[in-house]
Amino acid sequence: MMELPKDARTLLKTPSVTEITEMGGGKFWYNGIRSNLESALLNCDIQQQRTIKLLFNIDGMSPFNSSLYQFWPILFIVEDMHQLQPMVAAVYYGESKPPLQLYLKQFVHELNEILRDGLIINRQKVTVGVKCFVCDTQARSYIKGTPACNAEYGSCIKCTVVGEWDKRGRHMSYPRFDCPRRTDESFRNKMDEDHHKENTPLTDLPIDMVKDFVVADSLHLFDLGIY
């Protein structure tokens, strides 16, 4: 097998230089989706897995105590392929959240290409789809461009309920259960203007902007006093 390269980095086309760009007062590194998947799936039995679904996670975390600096990674896994580790598509580092349009632009562009064209792994065509986005309440509001989870108007991800401030308990409550439900169409058409703080690049993806984002997490809905 003289034609094979001596180093795996040559075969996998691993870049020799890590490209870190300036973005919104911070720094941004884009690792990519395709390169991760091609490397991870190289030794998998693709004959049994011609279609894969991806689950994405976006969240912010601070590596230091008492510091404004924070990381915002874009992570993903392949559904039902538990032998594969979570993969890093991108990382932003700065003193505040990254500008949403710039942060998601490259990610959305590449993901659309992969969803359209699929992947070629060991000469086999692999179809790729999106299972869902798994984010906590605050991160989900950020990437969808919607109000915070405790806002009076437009905060509920499932319906158009209006919040009521409880002075005695000092929390926002949402007592009605009969409000119109949100749909992918109503989100994209911005039928409830209060539900949109800014445009999100995620609407360029062929996903359901309501159903493909998992339900709200208990930490921000219950443990922190939001009901």
Asked if the structure places residue 35 within a domain, the reply is yes
The residue out of 134, 151, 174 marking a domain boundary is 134
The residue out of 81, 103, 134 marking a domain boundary is 134
7 pLDDT higher than 80: no
Residues 178 and 155 both lie in one domain? yes
What is the pLDDT of the chain when averaged over all its residues?
A: 88
Asked if the structure places residue 197 within a domain, the reply is yes
Residues 111 and 144 both lie in one domain? no
More confident residue, 14 or 101: 101
For residue range 182-198, list pLDDT tens digits in order. Answer: 999 999 999 999 999 99
Domain span holding position 26: 17-134
Residues 76 and 129 both lie in one domain? yes
Q: What is the 3-state secondary structure (H, E, C) of the chain?
A: CCCCCCCHHHHCCCCCCCCEEEECCEEEEECCCHHHHHHHCCCCCHHHCCEEEEEEEECCECCCCCCCCEEEEEEEEECCCCCCCCEEEEEEEECCCCCHHHHHHHHHHHHHHHHHHCEEECCEEEEEEEEEECCCHHHHHHHHCCCCCCCCCCCCCCECCCCEEECCCCEEECCCCCCCECCHHHHHCCCCHHHCCCCCHHHHCCCCCCCCECCCCHHHHHHCCCC
Q: How confident is the model at residue 52 (pLDDT cuts 50, 70, 90)?
A: very high
The residue out of 103, 134, 165 marking a domain boundary is 134
Residues 55 and 130 both lie in one domain? yes
For residue range 83-140, list pLDDT tens digits in order. Answer: 999 999 999 999 999 999 999 999 999 999 999 999 999 888 999 999 999 998 889 9
